[in-house]
Amino acid sequence: MEEAILWTLLIFLARLTDVSMGTLRTILLIRGRRGIAAFSAFF
């Protein structure tokens, strides 16, 4: 049971990070910072 809760939390945090990074890349592209946006795509 504890392992299932741990995996659920891990997946939630991974998705939260993924969506946040995508939003950040979109904002950077809109502001014209293509180089930084392209660099952040690798992380």
Percent of the chain with pLDDT over 90: 86
pLDDT of residue 40: 86
Q: Which residue has the tokens 């049971």?
A: 1
* HEC letters along 1-40: CHHHHHHHHHHHHHHHHHHHHHHHHHHHHHCCCHHHHHHH
Query: Is residue 42's pLDDT more than 90?
Result: no
Q: Considering the chain, what is the average pLDDT of its residues?
A: 94
pLDDT at 43 exceeding the cut of 80 = no
Q: What is the value of pTM for the model shown?
A: 0.73
The pLDDT value given to residue 25: 95
**17: pLDDT strictly greater than 90:** yes
